[in-house]
Structure 1
């Protein structure tokens, strides 16, 4: 199992293959003492060579590594073809690894599970296999595996479970529902799947991206405990909204 020091680990929201932003975010984290970035998906989009090379170079300057979960805007075909290391991670470059859905990490004394995937509300305006991938949502097999592997204190996901108020503008959803009837149910299906994970695993913390906003929420568990839910903002906003130190989430 991969073991990380939470004191030198930074969590990042969506970068969308944005090379200048990625390089700046890595530099910002590295100059503050980070050695690992845990990225919550929508990381590399189509993984163009310019982006992959620039990230590798920026990480090498600060002797860092980056581990990412799969977002809905990460090319699943590319990820499936990657060579894997002994932990089962996909090797993008020497310092960058893809955390397959269900893979677990040790973060200090806690266990974290990676659970990528989400639904694209704008799928009707994208091209299958090029800018939208039909297998984008979190698979039922990955969910079953995550549950079968036992307790975890942290979930590193791209999507947010159902039941957490994201305070989204209803006009945004209505616009895409009008263009693609049923897309809101499609999006909610993924969130409901993740709600099942959250209520069965009962982690103390759920981290996600996807919604392009910094947000906090919670899930009340039936045993009286609470799962804190933190969503991170995306590229083009600010480092304070896009990055958070793992220790600050406790």
Structure 2
């Protein structure tokens, strides 16, 4: 493998998921890394259609997908997944959850996972059905990731030091709660000194350098928007926009 695909939030959208995977397969991509708010294992009256179709499409296209958790994910179910020998939570052979603090390599490139974020829209959601406890980044997650250097860090939240703009007019208390997670992600970046960080959550496409560091952060947009998908060259760590 030379290039892999990195994806921003999909929010359980089957149409966009199928389009992204179909286009990736046509270009020969066989590995996709997702920054969270994938929304697999979501409770639904008629069953979890999105996860079933995602597993089917990954098999059809021969693509392996690794994802971290966002804030809009079912945290109790993800944390209850059985781990394989590589330390991933297994939904299927091709659909793997990277727990917070997990590390792995792809063609010698060192990856780390630090999912989670505070739901700035929590007041519009219901605990246990549209949001779940355990969504926020906590100090133990940062400690679990450790201090060993990484090449690529996959987060859901954007580290403090990178400017983002909220879609919502946030009350001050929510702004503080959200920023607490951002500070912890910043600490993880400082600890691991990756060349690249890929994040989502804020539904916008931005890039920036971490203050005082040689780390570039790529904030990816949500489904149906340009900037939801980028390729990463594992030999050079070059990042390019990818149109589904």
- State whether structure 2 residue 244 is matched by structure 1 residue 245: no
Alignment of 1:34-113 (within 5 A): 34-44=29-39, 46-47=41-42, 49-113=48-112
Name the SS of the counterpart of 1:220 in structure 2.
Answer: coil
The answer to whether the 8 A contact 2:41-2:51 is kept is no
Instruction: Give CA deviations for 1:180-236 in whole Å, capped at 9, x if unaligned.
Output: x51100000000111111122221111111111111111133xxx411000111112
Structure 2 unmatched runs, 5+: none
Measure, in 2, the Cα distance between the counterparts of 1:46 and 1:59: 16
Residue of structure 1 equivalent to 2:194: 203
Aligned residues: 232
Note the C-alpha offset of 1:109: 3.1
The answer to whether the 8 A contact 2:70-2:116 is kept is yes
Q: TM-score, with normalisation over the residues of structure 2? A: 0.89
Residue of 159, 162, 179 corresponding to 1:161 = 159
Note the C-alpha offset of 1:45: 5.2
The answer to whether the 8 A contact 1:41-1:158 is kept is yes
Q: TM-score, with normalisation over the residues of structure 1? A: 0.87
Residue of 25, 47, 59 corresponding to 2:20 = 25
Note the C-alpha offset of 1:124: 1.1
Instruction: Give CA deviations for 1:59-113 in whole Å, capped at 9, x if unaligned.
Output: 1222111110000001001112222211221111231011111111213332110
Instruction: Give CA deviations for 1:19-74 in whole Å, capped at 9, x if unaligned.
Output: 11111111111111110110000002553521111111211222111110000001
Q: CA separation of 1:57/1:45 partners in 2, compared to 1, >3 Å: closer, same or farther?
A: closer
Note the C-alpha offset of 1:15: 0.5
Measure, in 2, the Cα distance between the counterparts of 1:59 and 1:46: 16
Structure 1 unmatched runs, 5+: none
Instruction: Give CA deviations for 1:147-176 in whole Å, capped at 9, x if unaligned.
Output: 24x11121011111101112x15xx45x33
- State whether structure 2 residue 175 is matched by structure 1 residue 192: no
Measure, in 2, the Cα distance between the counterparts of 1:89 and 1:108: 17
Name the SS of the counterpart of 1:194 in structure 2.
Answer: helix
